[in-house]
Amino acid sequence: MSLLEALLSGFLFSFYLYIYNNYAIFSLPWNSSVTWIIAAVGIDFCYYWVHRSAHEINVLWAAHQVHHSSEEYNLSTALRQSAFQTFGSWPFYLPLAFFVPPSHSIVHKELILLYQFWIHTAVVKSIGPLELVLNTASHHRVHHGANRYCLDKNYAGVLIIWDRMFGTFEAERDDFDIVYGLVDQPQFWNPAKHQIFYYGKVIEKARSMSNWKDFFFSFVKGPGWFPGTKRLGDITFVAENPVREKYDPTVSSLLHLYTISHFLLSFLAIDFVIKSIKLMSHSTSIPLILYNLWSLTSIGLLYEDSSLAWPSEIIRCSVTVLMVNQLSVVFVFPLQIVYLGSVALASLMMGCQFLSYKSGKEE
């Protein structure tokens, strides 16, 4: 998601710049504290509707559901983001372009995301009277719950007042433990599949309709909608206190060592791409982004014990060795290159040994 943002955010934000530069009704002074306050409240208000739409319009939910697919609730959940949600979110901010300077808009949009990172935690129970005004960890835990009372609630960014004003607020309850994740929880750890699988469900649902009106409604009404129900569907079938096992297949402790090293390597590679994105052409950056996606997908396949996992890893690690050789000519990051190369070579050997062992075991 972060890598796609690096490529697309500038392009999408150009629409905001175009409106502001050509059609601004009134340009607020950039150095006024009033402008910063208006921008903060305006962006937060728009975020509420961006977020609410992502839950209440099925084709937008197809992107946003990635963020809700974690069965755990901690800071890492905040980083589980859609690669495609940016396309559906930026249009909601465009009305601000008629008076809010682009600099203020983009700063406050990022500040909201930073604020939201810290409320993805089960550690903080309450912050007292501020719970009345701010979106807090308690409020956001409700938002991530798969319990019936949690569904379609607490869309706020920073200020919970929007949910209180528009009837979508729900306080955390003490009589039920919140079960995190989706109502129909996917049973796989493939990040690429998580990004796209729900679009197939949207299309499948639309094709099952008997007329064009319902076909269209399948895309623009809520994920739970079916003919004969309200716009957001009927949630009475969802349990108030769901009981389900978390998806957690048993794997070898050696696999953890292998995947942790590659997960850290992926972060290093992502940091490398982001820092170097301005120096790269699209023909260079896009293959690197796809390589990182491949790496994370392979980790998911390994934990699912897919038959494609180790063959994929052997090929990927071989490609890594070739990439290191090529990148060392163009970019000079000695420690990164040494680390990447050493892990790739060790992994290549480990992958070959494991594949050989598995083949022998099957015989």
pLDDT of residue 10: 65
Q: What is the rounded distance in angstroms from the CA atom of residue 301 to the CA atom of residue 170?
A: 37
Q: Which of 144, 156, 157 is nearest to 65 (CA)?
A: 144
- Return the exposure string of 255-267: e unless at least 16 CB atoms fall within 10 Å of the residue's CB, then b: beebbebbeebbe
Residue with the two structure tokens 């990439």 = 323
Helical ranges in the chain per DSSP H: 2-23, 33-56, 58-64, 75-78, 85-89, 102-118, 137-143, 161-166, 191-207, 212-220, 253-276, 282-303, 309-330, 334-362
- Return the exposure string of 54-66: e unless at least 16 CB atoms fall within 10 Å of the residue's CB, then b: bbbbbbbbbbbbb
Grouped pLDDT means (10 residues each) for the chain, 363 residues: 58 84 88 93 96 96 94 92 82 91 91 94 95 97 96 97 97 93 90 91 96 96 94 90 86 81 76 68 72 85 85 82 62 53 64 61 54
Cβ neighbours of residue 25 closer than 8 Å, sequence gap 6 or more: 98, 99
The overall pTM is greater than 0.85: no
Residue 91, SS3? Answer: helix
Distance set, CA 289 to CA 124, 273, 331 (Å): 35, 8, 16
pLDDT of residue 48: 97
Q: What is the rounded distance in angstroms from the CA atom of residue 177 to the CA atom of residue 153?
A: 16
Provide the residue ranges of all domains of the chain, joining segments of one domain with +: 1-248, 253-362
With beta carbons less than 8 A apart as the criterion, state whether 347 and 258 touch.
yes
Residue 230, SS3? Answer: coil
Q: Which of 71, 98, 126, 89 is nearest to 12 (CA)?
A: 89
Residue with the two structure tokens 């955390």 = 172
